[in-house]
A and B are shown apart, each in its own frame.
Chain A
Amino acid sequence: MSAASALKSTPLNSIHRALGAKMVDFGGWDMPVQYTGIIDEHHAVRRAVGLFDVSHMGEIEIHGLEAAQLTDFVTTNAVHNMKTGQARYSGLLYPHGGFVDDILVHKVADDHYFLCVNASNQEKDFEHIHSLNRFDARVDFSSPRYAQLAIQGPKARDTVQKLTPVSLAAIRYYWFTDGEVCGVPARIAHTGYTGEDGFEIYAASSHAARIWNEVLQAGAEFGIKPCGLGARNTLRLEAGMALYGHEIDASTSPLEAGLEWIVKLDKGVFVGREALLRQNEKGVKRKLAGFEMRGRGIGRDGYEVFVNGSPAGWVTSGSPSPTLNRNIGFCYLPAELAQPGKAIQIMIRNQPVDAVTVETPFYKRAK
């Protein structure tokens, strides 16, 4: 038996292969890492539009009279004051304050919340939420029902608008609308993971191929490119967005990861709140910092960081930035050192290479 047969695949797997994508095992999923090349695809998103298959992402739905109470109890950001049609970035925490996952919460109705979660965490997330459900609510594992496509870039709206009667201009950033795309029911969210304007479309798995093909046709006049997980990573890194398993995991808290803004300590009781209150009081020992290489080399995930000749932390993500033409990354540092402008060294193949901490995001689109 080959290892590949154990991998999970999205409804678009054969389309990726027909397009000549290079496929990789991404957390147990057989996913396209690139089609024409990471840099090429990255530029397509920054300059025009790119199409990503992100159907590996998980969906968990919470229904019931107390759906809002359960969702508020298991997440860090506020749920009770969300309006129908709104989406919010949030965290699922363990009682000790570490991340179970980072997620997007969509309010579909007063008694219905739709959570988009990371692919490799989805079963764990479902068990976690389910085990904490002491409310009048039902938790459904909906991932198999949904495909998800991300259309991202300055021409994303023009591309998708050709395929839907829904006025996309009327969907504010981090809001969504349920309507039709390519004549089939779809949830159209004005969200993304690239730092560029764009939409994420959730639809029935059986309609994924149709939407994928029509988006590529609609975007052809703008130079649309299918994009893989390689470009998704360089784009999110430039935009200063965390990736589970890198900047955040069970051992890191939102306060350490620079995600205070998704923590609402005053919203009432939620899982992890006590731990975060204690961290807030004492101050956290380490913090996430962005860095730019000064010397030649790329500081990559897991490389050690030195300050004044002593070990001080480690790199969580690092990559060339195709947009900025510099080598960038994130690292954890002692909190007192985690501010912009600090000289650090990153051990690259046993050689210390100079870098400097910088403000993030590394890239911000012009509005």
Chain B
Amino acid sequence: MYPDNFRYTREHEWVLVEGDTGTLGITDHAQQSLGDIVYVDLPKVGVRVELGKSLGSVESVKAVSDIYAPLSGEVTEINKSLADAPEKLNQDPHGAAWLVKIHLSAPAEIHDLMSAADYQAYIGAEK
């Protein structure tokens, strides 16, 4: 369920680092808690995002939630398909419904994120 090559935040985002690029998304746990997702607001390409700061939001029938940057960097690509099909976030949050790609400015930040095992223990304890 939670890929081993991802790293996770306490706010339920994931990041996959390949070279100096990070791909970001929200976790399956996050989409389950949100319920039916109806809007996704993402930053524009070129925007600088900062660790722990809001980079956009996800909105479900019930509520709006901020998406926090798990790492710092500059947005290089956004997942445009989510604008017309936000429900993809409920279906494939760890795959087709990635949110943005960023060029990492401080790759060492990743050491503060959780492994898949730690994240699962974390959401288990949260319940």
Which of A34-42, A65-73, A193-201 lies at the binding interface? A34-42
B77 at the interface (CB under 8 A from A): no
Determine the chain A residues whose CB is within 8 A of the CB of B81 once the complex forms.
Answer: none
A234–B32 CA distance with the chains assembled, in angstroms: 19
Is B39 touching A34 in the complex (CB atoms < 8 A)?
Answer: no
A22's partner among B35, B38, B61, B64 (CB-CB below 8 A) is B35
Measured between beta carbons, the chain A residues less than 8 angstroms from B63 are: 300
B61 contacts across to A, CB distance below 8 A = 38-39, 230, 234, 319-320, 322
Q: Indicate whether B11 reaches chain A with its CB closer than 8 angstroms.
A: no
Cα of A300 to Cα of B32 in the assembled complex, Å: 21
Q: Are B35 and A34 touching (Cβ within 8 A)?
A: yes
Asked if B36 is an interface residue, CB under 8 A from chain A, the answer is yes
B57 proximal to A (CB < 8 A): yes
For B50, the chain A residues whose CB sits under 8 A away are none
Residue of B nearest to A233 (CB): B62
Neighbour of B62 across the interface among A33, A296, A349, CB < 8 A? A33
- Cβ contact within 8 Å between B57 and A298: no
Within 8 A of B (CB), among A3-47: 22, 33-34, 37-40
Q: How far is the CB of B40 from chain A (nearest CB, A)?
A: 11
Are A296 and B39 interface neighbours, CB within 8 A?
A: yes
Chain B residues in 8 Å Cβ range of A38: 35-36, 61-62
Nearest chain A CB to B60's CB is how many angstroms away?
8
In the complex, the chain B residue whose C-beta lies closest to that of A41 is B36
A85 on the B face (CB < 8 A): no
Give residues 16-66 of B contacting A (CB, 8 Å). Answer: 32-33, 35-36, 38-39, 57, 59, 61-64
Q: Mark A282-320, 1 if CB is under 8 A from B, else 0.
A: 000000000000001110100000000000000000011
Q: How many residues of B contact A (CB 8 A)?
A: 13
Chain A minimum-CB-distance residue to B87: A39
Shortest C-beta distance, A349 to chain B (Å), equals 7
Closest A residue to B59 using CB positions: A298
**Complex CA distance for A297 and B41, rounded to whole angstroms:** 10
CB distance from A245 to the nearest CB of B (A): 15
Minimum C-beta distance from A298 to chain B (A): 6
Chain A at the B interface: mostly helix, strand, loop or mixed? Answer: mixed
Complexed CA–CA distance, A230 and B38 (Å): 14
Q: What string of 1s and 0s marks CB contacts (under 8 Å) between A227-242 and chain B? A: 0001000100000000
How far apart are B24's CB and chain A's nearest CB, in angstroms?
Answer: 20
Which residue of B33, B36, B39 contacts A298 across the interface (Cβ within 8 Å)? Answer: B39
Give complex CA distance A40, B36 in Å: 9
Please give me the residue from chain A that is nearest to B57 by CB atom. A349
For window 69-102 of chain B, which residues contact chain A by CB distance below 8 Å? Answer: 90
- Chain A, 246-264, contact with B by CB distance < 8 Å: what is the 0/1 string? 0000000000000000000
Which residue of chain B has its CB nearest to the CB of A42? B61
Known: A33-B62, A230-B62, A320-B61. A297 touches B35 (CB 8 A): no
B88 shortest CB reach to chain A, Å? 14
Bound CA span A195–B35, Å: 23
CA distance A349 to B39 in the complex (A): 14
Q: Which residue of B lies closest to A231 (CB)?
A: B61
- Which of the residues A230, A296, A298, A349 comes within 8 Å of B35, measured between beta carbons? A230
> Known contacts A33-B62, A298-B59, A349-B57: does B36 contact A39 (CB below 8 Å)?
yes
Measured CB to CB, the residues of B under 8 A from A are 32-33, 35-36, 38-39, 57, 59, 61-64, 90
The 6 closest A-B pairs by CB, nearest first: A38-B61, A39-B36, A320-B38, A37-B36, A38-B36, A320-B61
Some 7 contacts from A to B, beta carbons below 8 A apart, are A33-B62, A34-B35, A38-B62, A296-B39, A300-B63, A319-B61, A320-B38
